[in-house]
Amino acid sequence: MSYFPEIQKIKFEGSKSQNPLAFKYYNPDEVILGKTMKEHLRFSMSYWHTLTYMGTDPFGQETMVRPWDHLATDPLEIAKTRVKVAFEFMEKTGIEYFCFHDRDIAPEGKTLEESNRNLDIIVDIIEQEMKRTGIKLLWGTANLFSNKRFVNGASTSPNADVFAFSAAQVKKAMEITHRLNGEGYTFWGGREGYETLLNTDLKLEQDNFARFLQMAVDYAQEIGFKGQFYIEPKPKEPTKHQYDYDSATVIAFLKSYDLDKHFKLNIETNHATLAGHTVNHEIRVAAEAGLLGSLDANQGDLLLGWDTDQFPTNIYDTTAIMYEILRAGGFVTGGLNFDAKVRRSSFTPEDLFIAHIVGMDTFAVGLKVAAKLWEDQVLENHLKDRYRSYTTGIGKDITSGKTNFKALEKYIFDKKTIDDNESGRQEYLEAIINQYILG
């Protein structure tokens, strides 16, 4: 049975194609810098947005037209159908990975045991579909934020029973991720943060968060899960102060609790912009610390102060992202997970395809432009030239640790004035980016 009978497998038709259901730029087998596009990009479908987002917003009800959800009324039966829908969708779009929260794939029961039984039933079907299609799990995670028990957080809740429940839930989510050969496991803070210091023991909450992550590391060792752990930074929403604010904050947290050997970062574009950063800044900070893991691909709306999770359509952004990924040596366990949802008014099943197609095409363009920039080393050569004062003389003494304040003072007393600062040439470099994009 097909859930998208009118839609065939999406093909690459090139930039002149008028077919909305064709790739214009994403040509999966085209080789760029020695790897195919699909190997570079490692696209992933997020189960939550594509299968379970129904279009509600704070002012309005569900808008999404999802005929397959009406074939049954029992939530477990609906969940079973959604697995088939998900795999047909991924087969037709040629997306080779997916990501899920435990509660996206199977309904929550009245007890944790019942939820776990539901998960086992669905994971059986997912396992069969993965075998049938060769589609892989990029990462799994646990939803520790929707249920009202997480009102004050999960591992940072003031209620120790909530900490315990969260641990038990993550234990199961790790087990199913392991069973499905997940290449990673993600911790996005969810409600790990606070609203006001008037009622918050910040130190205990952060210590507990670290204890929780250490328990996950220990349990991975116990069950032989070798996937990569990720932390996904986000500065606000749902809480005012999320502990995992941005890359720099997460890196400092991981290092101060001696967890940096076990975790890398899963960086999301719209979370970066909420933190007042560009996503390329966030990627660079993680990469330079050796902690770049994976990406949640989306884009925000700079006029809105929340996480709009839109499909990426901005080629300047995807160029900057792919440049950083190439510069860091490419993905190892990570990939580009579309943590992106169609707009509430894009409610047809066809819109799901069109949204993913434009996202994939936008990244394909970004990859191609970034690869040319990287190949020509235009930006890197400019960097080398800009920082050349550190390669000889006093600059070399500084970077090799051979000097000190007293010696530097003498150097400056002798030199007297500084009259050799150079232009940063920002506009020149921006013009080069335009030229590389437009050809």
Among 40, 49, 69, 101, the one annotated catalytic: 101
The option from Co ion, ligand XUL, none interacting with 104 (CB < 5 to 8 A, set by class) reads none
Is 307 a binding residue for Co ion by CB under 5 A? The answer is: no
Q: Which residue is nearest to ligand XUL (CB)?
A: 188
With CA atoms as reference, report the closest residue to 181 among 28, 340, 335, 333: 333
Nearer to Co ion, 12 or 139 (CB): 139
Regarding 183 and contact with ligand XUL (CB under 6 A), the answer is: no
Q: Which long-range contacts (CB under 8 A, 24 or more apart) does 18-23 make?
A: 20/354, 20/357, 21/350, 21/353, 21/354, 21/357, 22/357, 23/357, 23/360, 23/361, 23/364
Contact map string, positions 369 to 398, toward ligand XUL, x by CB under 6 A: ------------------------------
Q: CB of 187: closest distance to ligand XUL in angstroms?
A: 8
The piece of 148-156, 264-272, 325-333, 358-366 that touches Co ion (CB under 5 A) is: 264-272
104 annotated active-site: yes
Closest CB to ligand XUL among 66 and 101?
A: 101
Is 49 annotated as catalytic?
Answer: no
Sole residue written with tokens 């991924």:
90
DSSP state of 219: H
CB atoms within 10 A of CB 81: 19
In the numeric block, the tokens 């396992």 are attached to 127
Structure tokens at 243: 């502990």
Phi-psi region of 100 (alpha: psi -120 to 50; beta: other; left: phi over 0): beta
Out of 296, 317, 324, 361, the residue judged to bind ligand XUL by CB under 6 A: 296
Separation between Cα atoms, residue 358 and residue 352, nearest integer Å: 10
Residue 141 interface partner, choices ligand XUL, Co ion, none, CB cut-off 5-8 Å depending on type: ligand XUL
Contact residue for Co ion among 175, 317, 324, 339 (CB under 5 A): 339
- Single residue of 102, 183, 192, 232 touching ligand XUL by CB under 6 A: 232
One-letter amino acid of 339: D
User: What is the phi/psi pair of residue 208, to 5°?
Assistant: -65, -40
CA angle 182, 300, 144 (to 5 degrees): 45
Q: What is the CA radius of gyration of the chain?
A: 24
Eight-state DSSP code of residue 198: G
What are the φ/ψ torsions at residue 186 (nearest 5 degrees)?
-110, 140
To Co ion, the closest distance from the beta carbon of 209 in angstroms equals 18
State in angstroms the smallest separation of the CB of 270 from ligand XUL: 8
CB neighbours of residue 396 within 10 Å = 13
Contacts of 35 (CB under 8 A, 6+ apart): 330
- What amino acid occupies position 210? A
Nearer to ligand XUL, 25 or 209 (CB): 209
Size of the site for Co ion (CB under 5 A): 3
| x/- letters, 92..111, toward ligand XUL (CB under 6 A) | ---------x----------
Pick one of ligand XUL, Co ion, none as the site partner of residue 244 (Cβ within 5 to 8 A by kind).
none
Nearer to ligand XUL, 141 or 239 (CB): 141
Residue 385: C-alpha distances to residues 242, 379, 382, 426 (Å): 39, 10, 5, 14
Q: Is 166 in the site for ligand XUL (CB under 6 A)?
A: no
Contact pick of 27, 93, 115, 141 for ligand XUL (by CB under 6 A): 141
Of 349 and 359, the one with the shorter C-beta distance to Co ion is 359
Q: Which two tokens stand for residue 254?
A: 């991981």
DSSP 348: S
* Residue 234 engages ligand XUL in binding (rule: CB under 6 A): yes
> Judged by CB under 6 A, which of 25, 43, 53, 188 binds ligand XUL?
188
Sign of the torsion formed by the C-alpha atoms of 307, 286, 221 and 167: negative
* Least Å from the CB of residue 52 to Co ion: 14
52 binds ligand XUL (CB under 6 A): no
| 268 near Co ion (CB under 5 A) | yes
Q: Does residue number 307 form part of the binding site for ligand XUL (CB under 6 A)?
A: yes
**Residue 282 touching ligand XUL (CB under 6 A):** no
What count of Cα atoms within 13 Å lies in the side-chain half-sphere of residue 157? 20
Count CB-CB contacts under 10 A for residue 5: 8
Considering beta carbons, is residue 27 or 169 the nearer one to ligand XUL? 169
Residue 268 or 361: the one with the smaller Cβ distance to Co ion is: 268
Binding footprint of ligand XUL on the chain (CB under 6 A): 101, 141, 186, 188, 232, 234, 268, 296, 307, 339
Indicate which residues carry an active-site annotation. 101, 104
